[in-house]
């Protein structure tokens, strides 16, 4: 268990406010109804300075999350990019997690948020490996959750919206209560969806496989990056609906996400995956990914935005 480490400043609506002043009213629409749109972005400490991973792609997803909910962010893409870079510089952190949030504030009395102001906050704080360095190296034990993920056309899974994370909370708490590091949700059709806050990949006979964007999961930016890395490395890849038992029979399973980066899964439901340790393709794409984001390999995909 851990709590968020405090940094001095939070960007709010175009200026910086002290961390302690970043309050919202209890009756804000987003507090009552879960309507905050948000992002989670990593900034890495590279030899050439602090660099934010796929910043524009993350901010584009934030814009899309808002757009789905008929909310237009009152800042341009370039302004949001500059704000994210500025908050890292202002807080003088070398590596961090950046959490842009678009909040509907106090105003609207009912479901429609139109009478609530649109407030944009960008906090950041230093953050290392989410599941720990050992998880990145050895892999984690995961379970399939008893909780089903949201179905298509219920709440939109492509929007990264606070309310969607009720599903992730249930999956994560149940996994922890049963002694697992993470849980994997199935869709209503019984096929693999995603983890509490990460996408799922597996390797079978040398082919990398992940689930399609079927309306039950978030389109992870790490997911897209791993697909790009695999394509360049000549690793065969396909999207396919994944039955639960394929998690048990796969040669390799891993999670991807901003928080978990690429974390191997060594068992699912106490059934060993492959050799019970990270497999060769997992290690290959993990190394490539971590080398690029940490500035140890050339950023040939153009994924890094330096803060200065």
User: Any contact of residue 168 with ligand PMP (CB under 6 A)?
Assistant: yes
Q: How far is CA 75 from the centre of its chain?
A: 23
User: Any contact of residue 65 with ligand PMP (CB under 6 A)?
Assistant: no
Please count the helices (runs of H) and the strands (runs of E) in the chain. 8, 19
- Segment lying near ligand PMP (by CB under 6 A), choices 11-19, 69-77, 107-115, 216-224: 216-224
Given the complex with ligand PMP, which of 108 and 159 has the nearer CB atom?
A: 159
User: Any contact of residue 185 with ligand PMP (CB under 6 A)?
Assistant: no
Interface pick for ligand PMP out of 100, 113, 123, 220 (rule CB under 6 A): 220
Going by DSSP bridges, is the β-strand pair 118-122/9-12 parallel, antiparallel, or unpaired? Answer: antiparallel
The token duo for 175 is 């996994």
User: Any contact of residue 198 with ligand PMP (CB under 6 A)?
Assistant: yes
| Residue 148 near residue 174 (C-beta atoms within 8 A) | no
User: Any contact of residue 123 with ligand PMP (CB under 6 A)?
Assistant: no
Q: How far is the CB of 38 from ligand PMP (least distance, A)?
A: 9
Q: Which of 29, 105, 31, 103 is nearest to 65 (CA)?
A: 103
Would you say the C-alpha torsion 96, 102, 104, 105 has a positive or negative sign?
A: positive
Given the complex with ligand PMP, which of 100 and 295 has the nearer CB atom?
A: 100
User: Any contact of residue 209 with ligand PMP (CB under 6 A)?
Assistant: no
Applying CB under 6 A, what is the total number of residues that bind ligand PMP?
15
Given the complex with ligand PMP, which of 116 and 198 has the nearer CB atom?
A: 198
Query: Would residue 12 show up in a list of annotated catalytic residues for this protein?
Result: no
Q: Which of 159, 197, 198 is nearest to 63 (CA)?
A: 159
**35-54: which residues touch ligand PMP (CB under 6 A)?**
40
User: Any contact of residue 221 with ligand PMP (CB under 6 A)?
Assistant: yes
The catalytic residue among 94, 160, 287, 308 is 160
Which residues are paired to 238 by β-bridges? 209
Interface pick for ligand PMP out of 223, 230, 250, 265 (rule CB under 6 A): 223
The token duo for 126 is 């230093």
Given the complex with ligand PMP, which of 11 and 130 has the nearer CB atom?
A: 130
Burial 227-264 (b: 16+ CB within 10 A, else e): bebbeeeebebeeeebeeebbeebbbbbbbbbbbbbbb
For 237, the enclosing helix (H) or strand (E) is strand 237-239
Q: What is the DSSP letter of 243?
A: B
Q: How far is the CB of 257 from ligand PMP (least distance, A)?
A: 3
Interface pick for ligand PMP out of 218, 230, 242, 268 (rule CB under 6 A): 218
Phi, psi of 116 (to 5 degrees): -100, 130
Given the complex with ligand PMP, which of 105 and 257 has the nearer CB atom?
A: 257
- Segment lying near ligand PMP (by CB under 6 A), choices 21-29, 174-182, 250-258, 293-301: 250-258
d(CA 291, CA 62): 26
Q: Which of 127, 56, 121, 123 is nearest to 96 (CA)?
A: 127
Q: What is the DSSP letter of 21?
A: G
Q: How far is the CB of 225 from ligand PMP (least distance, A)?
A: 8
Given the complex with ligand PMP, which of 40 and 126 has the nearer CB atom?
A: 40
Q: Residue numbers of the site for ligand PMP (CB under 6 A)?
A: 40, 168, 194, 197-199, 217-218, 220-223, 256-258
Catalytic residues: 160
């Amino acid at each position: 268990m851990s709590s968020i480490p405090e940094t001095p400043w939070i960007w709010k609506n175009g200026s910086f406010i002290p961390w302690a002043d970043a309050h919202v009213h209890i009756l804000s629409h987003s507090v009552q109804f879960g309507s905050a749109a948000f992002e989670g972005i990593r900034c890495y400490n590279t030899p050439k300075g602090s660099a934010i991973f796929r910043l524009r792609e993350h901010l584009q997803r934030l814009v899309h999350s808002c757009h789905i909910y008929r909310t237009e962010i009152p800042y341009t893409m370039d302004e949001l990019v500059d704000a994210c870079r500025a908050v890292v510089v202002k807080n003088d952190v070398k590596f961090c997690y950046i959490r842009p949030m678009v909040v509907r504030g106090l105003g609207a009395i009912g479901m429609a948020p139109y009478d609530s102001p649109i407030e944009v906050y960008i906090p950041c704080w230093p953050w290392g490996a989410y599941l720990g360095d050992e998880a990145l190296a050895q892999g984690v034990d995961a379970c399939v959750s008893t909780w089903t993920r949201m179905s298509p056309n219920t709440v939109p899974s492509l929007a990264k919206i606070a309310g969607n994370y009720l599903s992730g909370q249930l999956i994560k708490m149940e996994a922890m209560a049963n002694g697992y590091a993470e849980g994997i949700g199935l869709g209503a059709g019984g096929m693999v969806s995603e983890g509490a806050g990460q996408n799922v990949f597996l390797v079978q006979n040398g082919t990398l496989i992940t689930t399609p964007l079927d309306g039950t999961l978030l389109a992870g930016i790490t997911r897209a990056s791993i697909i790009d890395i695999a394509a360049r490395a000549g690793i065969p890849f396909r999207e396919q609906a994944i039955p639960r038992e394929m998690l048990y029979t796969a040669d390799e399973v891993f999670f991807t996400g901003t928080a978990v980066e690429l974390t191997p899964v060594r068992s699912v439901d106490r059934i060993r995956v492959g050799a019970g340790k990270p497999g060769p393709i997992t290690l290959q794409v993990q190394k490539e990914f971590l080398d690029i984001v940490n500035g140890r390999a050339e950023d040939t995909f153009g994924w890094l935005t330096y803060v200065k």
